[in-house]
Amino acid sequence: IKQLAYQRHLQGINPFTGAVSLDGSQLPQVGGHESIRPGSSSSIEDLLSYNVYRSDNGTSFDMIANVLSPTLTYTDNDVVNGTTYWYYVTAVYNEGESGPSDTVSATPIAPSEFFDDFESYAPGVQLTVQSTNWTTWSGTPGTGEDPFVSDAQAFSGSNSVVIVQNNDLVKTFGSLTSGKWKISFYVYIPTGKAGYFNTLAGFTPNPFNWAMECYFDLGGSGRLLGGSSTAVTFSWAPDTWQLVEVIVDLNNDLAEFRFNGASIHTWQWTLGASGGGSPLRLDASDLFGATANDQMYFDDYGIEEYIVGIGDDQPQIPAEFSLQQNYPNPFNPSTVIKYALKENANVTLTIYNMLGQEVKTLVSAHQAAGIKEAAWDGTNNSGAQVASGIYIYRLEANDFVASRKMLLMK
């Protein structure tokens, strides 16, 4: 006789989906009716359904769903990120409804976009000693795997991080299994040096799995492994900052590698780096000093939810507000700034210099939800050309505020 299960414990809560998943694991009591257990004289047919109850204060519960047997799971999508919810379930039989199960709670959270320009760290000191946002392959700060913050090169500000032989720096993402994501950063490799990084579909505590690998070989030749053991080649330039982008669309099992704004390669994500297969998951970035020649500086590292699908330039209504990196960057004479509005909003997009002084207001209007863009031609509010240098652009949309840096080079 099949064991009766019902939703008692929360399992598999995905904090990146804005939903709470309930999974059955225990047996209820139904008043004086003994619960169905293996070997009992009752049958699974005695169970009709489950009622799911929810509260947003832990005391007052409302029934939100009736789940027909034998389904043992339920996902609550009608939740607000950052709000704690309490749940219990009951079992419904011909004789009536059981008492409540144990009460459990969960707090769904929104995807956390991450950005680090390394300006808050001390140069000459290893990164993971100073920051818990980063880790090493073995999780041990201060060892040879831990790279140093450097002020020898920087894309913005005065600091970057340099990856040399045996450094093994990891940025984890929390085992993303859905959504479209863009990892981006700038790299600088001196003449006569090389570099390497990879993106992982599996990292601790998951089994290690390489979903793509990128080599910056000596002499300006690059190799990308994505979906096949045959590398896709590209070129890179020494002694200059260049933009790296890895776009992973977990909803459609697609990935794309872009270098300096140009699409180099698109592949099926679950084929893995060399075609041997990967899980449909985005777990971490790994920046590794693979050889004695490796000396790769990187700066302005970020991961953000991506709005436009790979191979599809048609915008959609975004799920969240966001501000994207301008393109091109560095730029001369003009650049384009894209941003996303999840709802109609009062929008202000303003350019500031590094002293915090306003340079130009690009947008000051009420705008409808959608993907937007604004161009800046390097002029101030008076129409005069501004000097080369780093500028900050700041987006305010309802309660959302975000800013990024860009570099004007003449």
| Spatial CA neighbour of 401 closest among 350, 352, 362 | 350
Where does 322-408 sit in CATH, by number?
2.60.40.4070
pLDDT (tens digit per residue) in 208-218: 999 999 999 99
Q: Where are the domains of the chain?
A: 6-106, 114-305, 322-408
Confidence at 77, pLDDT banded by 50, 70, 90: low
The larger pLDDT score, comparing residue 219 to residue 7, is at 219
Q: Which CATH number fits domain 114-305: 3.40.710.10, 3.90.1150.10, 1.20.1530.20, 2.60.120.560?
A: 2.60.120.560
Same fold, 6-106 and 322-408: yes
| Spatial CA neighbour of 22 closest among 37, 5, 7 | 7
SS3 275: coil
Mean pLDDT of all residues in 312-316:
47
Q: How far apart are CA 371 and CA 315, in angstroms?
A: 6
| Spatial CA neighbour of 310 closest among 361, 263, 240 | 263
pLDDT for residue 238 = 95
Say what the pTM is: 0.55
Scanning 232-359, the segments in alpha helix (DSSP H) are none
Confidence at 23, pLDDT banded by 50, 70, 90: low
Q: How far apart are CA 234 and CA 354, in angstroms?
A: 35
| Spatial CA neighbour of 91 closest among 46, 59, 54, 60 | 46
Lowest mean pLDDT, pick from 136-145, 326-335, 380-389: 326-335
Judge whether residue 17 has pLDDT over 70.
no
Cβ atoms of 360 and 348 within 8 Å: the answer is no
Q: What is the DSSP string of 204-217?
A: TTSPPEEEEEEEE-
Q: Which CATH number fits domain 6-106: 3.40.190.10, 1.10.10.60, 2.60.40.10, 2.40.50.100?
A: 2.60.40.10
Share of the chain above pLDDT 70, in %: 84
pLDDT for residue 192 = 97
pLDDT (tens digit per residue) in 362-397: 998 888 788 888 889 899 999 899 999 999 999 999
Q: Which residues of 117-150 are buried (b: 16+ CB within 10 A; e: fewer)?
A: bbeebebeebbbebeeebbbbeeebebebbbbbb
pLDDT (tens digit per residue) in 235-249: 999 999 999 999 999
Judge whether residue 405 has pLDDT over 50.
yes
Confidence at 85, pLDDT banded by 50, 70, 90: confident
pLDDT for residue 179 = 86
Number of H helices, E strands in the chain: 1, 30
Judge whether residue 288 has pLDDT over 90.
yes
pLDDT for residue 62 = 92
